[in-house]
Amino acid sequence: MRRSIRRYGLAAAAGLAAFTLLAGCAATDGATADNEPVTLAEGEPGAPEDTEITVAIPFPDITMYSMYVLATDLGYYEEEGLTVEVITADNVTAAVASGSADIGVDSTGTVIEAIRGGVEIDLVGGHYCRQNFDFAAQSDVTEVADLEGTSVVLAGTPGDPAEFQRKRVLKEEGWDLDTVAVEVVYPGPGSESWTEFFVNDKISLQPFYGDDRPALEEHGANIIVESLRNWANDVQVAGDGWVSENPNSLVRFLRATIRATDYMLAPAAGEVPENLDSVLDIYEANDFDVEALRTLDSPWVLDGHLACPNLTFDAEAWDTTVETQELQPIEFDDSQLVYLLKAQELLGMTNEGPTTLEYPGN
């Protein structure tokens, strides 16, 4: 669950809107495509096959996709012989599958359903290894019984698997919506629309992101849940044809991106970053407004509580997404991770999963 709201209406790679994922049309017997085992050479990767890499993201965000900005400005991609361009795409998975982008960042559930549907992509690495779940209720709502007969928001659009995760977290935090009669409504994909409904008293409960908090607090909202889960958020994907043709480029790209993520998180995830001023200077040089971020002395400041420096992903993260988003079971093809594991090895890292952190501020 991202800390910043999505920005819609952005320029996207041409022709992507017509692409329809095949999820739901394919068999759901748990089988995945049969991929040939991949063996990478010992030691340093070879020269990059593709030196110009395009990365698709769903929307610009000052912190969420900062590792790509950092890796460029710190010279990490250049050291690998790479030039990386970041674009926005309305449908990232479609952009990667069509070849409009080489690598993309998309939600884990979307990627799982795309792979199930036969879309020719590989999950090549994690992006954010944790999610924060924040919920606001109207000021007169102090227990779940107070929601009886009201309307609530769990997601912007019907069918968003995040709805199941949010409902699960609410139940675990003592707000079991199955115990009351509520109407679940869908005001639109952006959380700014949810907040608009909330401050106009049309809904009694909503998830929110950091951008929404000032308006909610001004309205007098009751912040009922602030929770952090070790659940994979977004992941990095690449077209399987591009991967097979560019193994050295992928390893080099992942190594540079891991270095940038580690730089952003130093000294450790969940702690105030020691490189904060340097990172914010880089953001500012790339035309981001960082004035508000410079005043924060918190692990929140760079979304560092959500990321793992090794960009970890594994079968457990896959299975957790399937379970918490109530997807049909599908087996994880761990051969996709050989490039991530190689990049981690070159940096003296393992693929260890996320540690448990306290919610920032608690």
**Per residue in 156-169, pLDDT tens?**
889 888 899 999 99
* pLDDT tens-digit map of 10-41: 233 323 332 233 333 333 333 334 456 577 88
Residues in the chain: 362
Between CA 191 and CA 258 the distance in angstroms is 30
Q: What is the pLDDT of residue 64?
A: 83
**pLDDT above 70: percentage of residues in the chain:** 89
* 257 — pLDDT class (breaks 50, 70, 90): very high
Between CA 180 and CA 169 the distance in angstroms is 16
Between CA 261 and CA 76 the distance in angstroms is 11
* 142 — pLDDT class (breaks 50, 70, 90): very high
Average pLDDT, the chain: 88
Mean pLDDT of 326-354: 96
Mean pLDDT of 201-215: 92
Q: Per DSSP, what are the bridge partners of residue 228?
A: 132
Between CA 120 and CA 32 the distance in angstroms is 11
**pLDDT above 90: percentage of residues in the chain:** 73
* pLDDT tens-digit map of 59-93: 887 788 899 999 999 999 999 999 999 999 989 99
Sign of CA dihedral 65, 126, 361, 193: positive
CB 276 within 8 A of CB 266: no
Q: What is the pLDDT of residue 362?
A: 58
* 285 — pLDDT class (breaks 50, 70, 90): very high
Q: What is the pLDDT of residue 359?
A: 82
> In sequence order, what are the residues at sequence separation of 6 or more whose Cβ sits closer than 8 angstroms to the Cβ of residue 301?
63, 272, 273, 276, 293
Sign of CA dihedral 80, 337, 160, 97: positive
Tokens of 202: 């049309």
Q: Name the maximum alpha-carbon separation found in the chain.
A: 63
CB 237 within 8 A of CB 123: yes
Q: Which pTM was predicted?
A: 0.85
> Helix %, strand %, coil % for the chain, to 5?
35, 15, 50
Query: CB-hemisphere CA count at 13 Å for 209?
Result: 18
* 275 — pLDDT class (breaks 50, 70, 90): very high
Mean pLDDT of 117-143: 96
